[in-house]
């Protein structure tokens, strides 16, 4: 089985993804501030991603303002990608909001405007349907 790091592992999606991966036998590295790793620290990220095969980005920030959200996701994506490259992580999977790149969806909320910024630093984006959140017990 793979060794998979889940960023934002203490949040609603991150904890559900971590639990599901462990249920399927994967070795999960839970990454969050409450687990002692801040994605805003490049050094901490490099240590956290040692020997990891796949990183799952389930990061979240409680901010509706565009500037704070954009700064957070841009800096976090840069740190994650640099740490992943330094450690030979083969894939980064970004959980996102379906339609977040669409101006009709994101024009009122800075948080939604910022989510697509992560794609600049990653090669592949996977959007999960809303029902996945419902299955995990979150709303």
For the residues of 52-107, what is the DSSP string, one character each? -SEEEE--------HHHHHHHHHHHHHHHHHHHHHHT--EEEE---TTTT-HHHHT
Nearest-angstrom CA–CA distance, 49 and 30? 10
Whole-number pLDDT of residue 115: 54
| Rounded-to-integer distance, Cα 10 and Cα 58, Å | 10
pLDDT, tens only, 90-106 = 899 888 766 666 666 55
Under 8 Å between Cβ of 77 and 45: no
Return left, alpha or beta for 62; rule: phi > 0 is left, psi -120 to 50 is alpha, else beta: beta
Domain ranges of the chain: 3-134
Q: Looking at residue 106, what is its pLDDT?
A: 58
| Domain topology for 3-134 | Rossmann fold (3.40.50)
Mean pLDDT of all residues belonging to the chain: 77
pTM of the prediction?
A: 0.73
């Amino acid at each position: 089985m793979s060794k998979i790091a889940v960023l934002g592992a203490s949040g609603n999606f991150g904890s559900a993804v971590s639990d599901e991966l462990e249920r399927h036998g994967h070795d999960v590295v839970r990454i969050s501030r409450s687990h002692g790793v801040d994605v805003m620290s490049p050094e901490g990220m490099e240590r956290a991603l040692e020997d990891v095969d796949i990183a799952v980005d389930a990061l979240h920030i409680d901010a509706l303002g565009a500037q704070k959200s954009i700064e957070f996701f841009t800096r976090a994506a840069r740190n994650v990608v640099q740490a992943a490259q330094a450690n030979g992580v083969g894939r980064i999977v970004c959980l996102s909001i379906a339609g977040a790149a669409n101006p009709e969806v994101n024009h009122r909320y800075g948080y939604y405007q910022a989510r697509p910024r992560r794609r600049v630093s990653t090669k592949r984006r996977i959007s999960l349907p809303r029902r996945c959140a419902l299955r995990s017990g979150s709303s």
